[in-house]
Amino acid sequence: MTAPVTPEIPHRRLAGNLPHWTIVLSLLVLAAIVAMAVAAPQLANFEPTELNAVMRLQAGSETYWLGTDSFGRDLYSRIVYGARVSLLVGAGVAAGAIVIGLPLGLLAGWFRGFDAVIMRVMDGMMAIPGILLAIAIVALTKAGLVTVIIAIMLPEIPQVVRLVRSRVLAARAESYVEAAQLLGTPAPRLITRHLLPATVAPLIVQATYIYASAILTEAALSFLGVGIGTEIPTWGNIMAEGRLYFAMRPWLVFWPAIVLSLCILSINLLGDALRDRLDPKMKGRDE
């Protein structure tokens, strides 16, 4: 008799298709970036706007760890302070898009009269490329932190509205919602008690993607010169200033680009993990 074949035990995985170490590593990287932003005054070697014309375009050294830019400013200190702006923009855009999009999606999904009006407006907003809409808004107003957040947030609102509306339409067909209607439950109570909880899980996942997209869009706007002014360091405008000297000093672009890429990758991996945990149907579909 042949010995029974022991099935191979797969490596332990967390949240669906992503291996455990990938999620842990992404959380550690994201936590390190958040800690860097919070403790920027303690971690930075210099003020991000401190000029030193004598030390222009210096390579990394004991004094200037990542070198200096064309104005003699410490690149490491500017990247550390730039994390504050990027994370703040991402948080502001994600929070604003959900605060505005959630009630609109609930109204569109439950009230037929509102549905046609709201969704046509959302379709019109989605017809305009998000980056072009953001550039137009920033160009027509004074570029600043609040303006950039609003400009990036507006194109994200239709995504939230469509997501919430689809969840409400699916939930209203459930038997418990129909029973609540037959019992005469008022619409506000029915929406807050039965429909709103059905949108929480997908909204959490969507918020992570909006967060990452907002950080990338802010960097693109700053790189194009229509974002936050260079007096406030952001990863985007640090790369924009460094591209003029890329052939001679490539690290002026590489270092902020690496930090930006790690931040966005970590947020996206976290979003995938949350999606697999909070939405088992989507997890099975991917497998």
Residues 126-158: pLDDT tens digits?
888 888 888 888 878 777 788 889 989 999 999
Place of tokens 């709201």: 118
Question: Mean pLDDT for the chain?
Answer: 81
Cα atoms in the 13 Å half-sphere on the side-chain side of 229: 6
Q: How confident is the model at residue 65 (pLDDT cuts 50, 70, 90)?
A: confident
Phi, psi of 74 (to 5 degrees): -70, 120
Contacts of 134 (CB under 8 A, 6+ apart): 148, 151, 152, 154, 155, 217, 221
Helix ranges (H only) for 39-144 are 40-43, 75-110, 112-126, 130-140
Q: What is the mean pLDDT of residues 181-208?
A: 79
pLDDT for the residue 18: 56
How far apart, in whole angstroms, are the C-alpha atoms of residue 77 and residue 52?
A: 14
Q: How far is CA 92 from the centre of its chain?
A: 10
Nearest to 206 by CA among 174, 266, 162: 162
In this prediction, residue 234 carries a pLDDT of: 87
Helix axes 20-38, 251-278, angle to 10 degrees: 120
List pLDDT tens digits, range 68-113: 888 888 889 999 998 998 899 999 999 999 999 999 998 888 888 8
* 23-27, 181-185, 280-284: least confident range: 280-284
- Which tokens hold the place of 51? 């000029």
pLDDT exceeds cutoff 60 at 287 = no
Contacts of 189 (CB under 8 A, 6+ apart): none
Torsion of Cα atoms, 124 then 128 then 134 then 138, to 10°? -80
| pTM score, whole prediction | 0.82
Structure tokens at 3: 């010995």
Number of CB atoms found within 10 A of residue 23's CB: 20
Which pair of tokens denotes residue 121?
Answer: 């407006």
Cα(82)–Cα(276) distance, integer angstroms: 31
Residue with tokens 């037959």: 182
| pLDDT reported for residue 136 | 84
Distance CA 87, CA 145 (A): 12
Both structure tokens of 134: 């953001």
3-state secondary structure 137-201: HHHHCCCCHHHHHHHHHHHHHHHHHHHHHHHHHHHCCCHHHHHHHHCCCCHHHHHHHHHHHHHHH
Segment 221-258, tens digit of pLDDT: 888 878 787 778 888 888 888 888 888 888 888 999 99
